[in-house]
């Protein structure tokens, strides 16, 4: 269904708008994390936001096929793996929050 939706120009426009809004929201959250001292200085926020978006979408698709554990746990694990090199401290676990 996703491929069919993206083939339709009107539906694609809505998907693109949502995609760009999500990218902006992720970049804003990363900027907050950098201001709070949680991300290393010099981190390319735009590039990292794009990677966060790609990992989130990809993990969702992989989970939909594998169905191994809850989706939220899969997303958290994949995102921790992605962002851990950019953190100023060790990655937080569920027990830390």
- Taking the domains of the chain in order of start, what are their residue ranges? 2-96
pTM over 0.95: no
Tens digits of residue pLDDT in 41-51: 999 999 999 99
Candidate CATH numbers 1.10.630.10, 1.10.357.10, 3.30.70.20, 1.20.140.150; the one for domain 2-96: 1.10.357.10
Query: Given this model, what pLDDT does residue 61 score?
Result: 92
Give kind and range of the element (H or E) at residue 12: helix 9-35
Tens digits of residue pLDDT in 34-85: 999 999 999 999 999 999 999 999 999 999 999 999 999 999 999 999 999 9
37: CB partners within 8 A, 6+ apart: 88
């Amino acid at each position: 269904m996703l491929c069919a939706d993206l083939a339709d120009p009107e539906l694609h426009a809505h998907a693109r708008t949502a995609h760009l809004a999500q990218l902006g929201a992720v970049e804003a959250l990363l900027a907050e994390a950098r201001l709070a001292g949680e991300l290393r200085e010099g981190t390319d926020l735009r590039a990292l936001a794009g990677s966060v978006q790609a990992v989130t979408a990809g993990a969702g698709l992989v989970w939909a096929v594998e169905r191994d554990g809850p989706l939220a746990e899969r997303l958290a694990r994949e995102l921790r793996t992605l962002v851990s090199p950019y953190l100023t401290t060790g990655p937080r676990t569920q027990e830390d929050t």
